[in-house]
Amino acid sequence: GAVVSQHPSRVICKSGTSVKIECRSLDFQATTMFWYRQFPKQSLMLMATSNEGSKATYEQGVEKDKFLINHASLTLSTLTVTSAHPEDSSFYICSVKRGGRWDTQYFGPGTRLTVL
Amino acid sequence: GQQLNQSPQSMFIQEGEDVSMNCTSSSIFNTWLWYKQDPGEGPVLLIALYKAGELTSNGRLTAQFGITRKDSFLNISASIPSDVGIYFCAGQLGETSGSRLTFGEGTQLTVNP
């Protein structure tokens, strides 16, 4: 069964609005979650690492004020795209890290964001 | 930074054929992972490799962690139409790097029935 869920699966919004995407770890508590974006026919690009109870760590070139990440519990992380613009249209995917010996990441089903 | 070279970029094969794809890195990884992504979906973990030289199978899939820790390959035997998708390799250094994954560019597999 699914290990990670994302909501919504797709969203269309107007330019200038904010959009929140939820990522839930279903099978285990995840102290660390990751947010990726993927453009068509490209690989996944890590945007930020979300740590429960602390500030997210953003990759170089990713605006932290534009992509707000909140990891309020061990099973939920949210990504808010603020003041979205058409160039923010992309496929956003989260992953959860299963720690310990099995240091493996499991990915959510993704959220397709289209900004008009 | 680390880079992963994944090849081939795309493959067109007939159903029943075997497939091989590989990834090479300019530096070492402590974990190699192989994922499959269907259109509009997130990547699904196929095989995880944790030890240099490790050879692991998952059904018709076999993957190996290169002995130098700088490469990995994935083989698919007796391909079927549902094998169609994009296959990604990913390398991970481990806790010291925050468990960040470095992804290859992907191999687009097409299987003709």
Contact between A108 and A95 (Cβ < 8 Å): yes
What is the predicted pLDDT for the residue at B12? 96
CA distances from B10 to B21, B44, B84 (A): 10, 19, 11
b/e for B64-95, b at 16 or more Cβ within 10 A? Answer: bbbeebbbbbbebeebeeebebbbbbbbbbee
What are the pLDDT digits (tens) for B18-75?
Answer: 999 999 999 899 999 999 999 999 999 999 999 999 999 999 999 999 999 999 999 9
Q: What is the pLDDT of residue A81?
A: 97
Residue B3's pLDDT band (boundaries 50, 70, 90)? confident
A110 interaction partners in chain B (CB closer than 8 Å): 40-42
User: Can you give the pLDDT of all 116 residues of chain A as single tens digits?
Assistant: 568 999 999 999 999 999 999 999 998 888 889 999 999 989 999 999 988 888 899 999 999 999 999 988 889 999 999 999 999 999 999 999 876 655 678 899 999 999 99
| First and final C-alpha spacing in chain A | 34
Chain B contact probe: residue of A34, A54, A103, A111 with most B CBs at under 10 A: A103
Question: Distance between CA B52 and CA B29 in Å, rounded?
Answer: 9
Task: Write the pLDDT tens digit of every residue in A75-85.
Answer: 999 999 999 99
Angle at B6 between CA B30 and CA A47, to 5 degrees: 70
A93 with B94: Cβ contact below 8 A: no
In the prediction, which pLDDT does A73 show?
Answer: 87
Please tell me the predicted confidence (pLDDT) of residue B100: 82
Q: At which residue do the structure tokens 């008009």 appear?
A: A116
Three-state SS string over B67-84 comes to CCCCEEEEEECCCCHHHC
Cis peptide upstream of residue B8 (ω within 30 degrees of 0): yes
What three-state secondary structure class fits A57? strand
B96 pLDDT exceeds 60?
Answer: no
Query: Residue B97's pLDDT is what?
Result: 57
Chain B positions in Cβ-Cβ contact with residue A43 (cut-off 8 Å): 88, 103-106
H-helix or E-strand spanning residue B38: none
Phi and psi of B81, rounded to 5°?
-55, -35
pLDDT at residue B76 is higher than 60 = yes
pLDDT at A1: 59
pLDDT at A100: 63
Distance CA B52, CA A49 (A): 27
What residues of B are in contact with residue A106 (Cβ under 8 Å)? 45
Report yes or no: B23 and B91 within 8 Å, Cβ to Cβ.
Answer: yes
The reported pLDDT for the residue numbered B14 is 96
